[in-house]
Amino acid sequence: MNHNPLRLIVGDNPFHGISHLSQQRARERTPPQTPQTTQQAAHIVERSVENGANGFMFSVDETTLAIIQQLRKNHPTSKTNLYAIAPYAYAYVRKATQTGGVSGLAMNFARNMLFSSNAKVITTNLGGLAQFNPSALLKTYTAYELSRIKSAAGNDAHIESFMLHEIITDMALALNMESLFKEYITFLENRHIRPGFETRNFSILIDKFNHWNIDLSKLTLTSSFNKVGFQMCPSKRECEEALKRAGGAEIIAMSVLAAGYLKPIEAVDYLTNLEGVSGAVIGVSGEHQADETFRVFRECC
Partner 1 sequence: MTPNQSPLKIGVVGLGKMGIMHACLLNTMPNVEVQALCDKSRLIRTIAKRSFKDATVTDSLDKFADLNLDAIYMLTPIPIHYPLIKQIYTKKLAKHIFVEKTLTSNYNQSAELSTIAQTQDSITMVGYMKRFSTTFNQAKQLLEEQAIGKPESFKAYAFSSDFANTPKSTPASNARGGVIEDLGSHIADLAVWFFGDLTVTDTKINSQLSPTSEDDLSFNVTTKQGLPGHFDVSWCKQNYRMPEFNLSIQGTTGNLDVNDDEVKLTLKNSPPKHWYRHDMNDNVGFLLGGPEYYRENQYFIQSILSKTPPESNFKNTLSVDYLLEQVRRQSK
Q: Which residues bind partner 1 (CB under 8 A)?
A: 16-18, 21-24, 26-27, 30, 90, 93-94, 96-104, 106-107, 131-134, 137, 167, 170-171, 174-177, 200-201, 204, 228-236, 258-259, 261
Strand 279-283 vs strand 55-59: parallel, antiparallel, or unpaired?
unpaired
Q: Minimum Å distance from CB 135 to partner 1?
A: 9
Q: Minimum Å distance from CB 146 to partner 1?
A: 22
Q: Minimum Å distance from CB 280 to partner 1?
A: 18
Residue number with CB closer to partner 1 (26 or 252): 26
| CA 40/CA 296 separation, integer angstroms | 22
Residue number with CB closer to partner 1 (76 or 100): 100
Beta carbons of 103 and 112 less than 8 angstroms apart: no
Residue number with CB closer to partner 1 (74 or 235): 235
Q: Minimum Å distance from CB 15 to partner 1?
A: 12
Angle at 218 between CA 129 and CA 279, to 5 degrees: 115
Beta carbons of 163 and 222 less than 8 angstroms apart: yes
What is the distance, to the nearest Å, from the Cα of residue 268 to the centroid of all Cα atoms in its chain? 21
Beta carbons of 166 and 198 less than 8 angstroms apart: yes
Query: How buried is 125 (Cβ within 10 angstroms: 0-12 exposed, 13-18 middle, 19+ buried)?
Result: buried
Residue number with CB closer to partner 1 (7 or 187): 187
- Strand blocks (E) in 137-287: 159-164, 194-198, 220-224, 250-254, 279-283
Radius of gyration of the chain (CA): 19
Q: Minimum Å distance from CB 168 to partner 1?
A: 11
Residue number with CB closer to partner 1 (32 or 35): 32
Q: Minimum Å distance from CB 103 to partner 1?
A: 4
| CA 57/CA 13 separation, integer angstroms | 9
Residue number with CB closer to partner 1 (170 or 250): 170
| CA 258/CA 270 separation, integer angstroms | 12
Closest CA to 204 of 168, 165, 245, 163: 245
Residue number with CB closer to partner 1 (228 or 265): 228
Q: Minimum Å distance from CB 301 to partner 1?
A: 22
Beta carbons of 275 and 244 less than 8 angstroms apart: yes
Q: Minimum Å distance from CB 97 to partner 1?
A: 5
CA atoms within 13 Å, Cβ hemisphere of 39? 4
Residue number with CB closer to partner 1 (134 or 154): 134
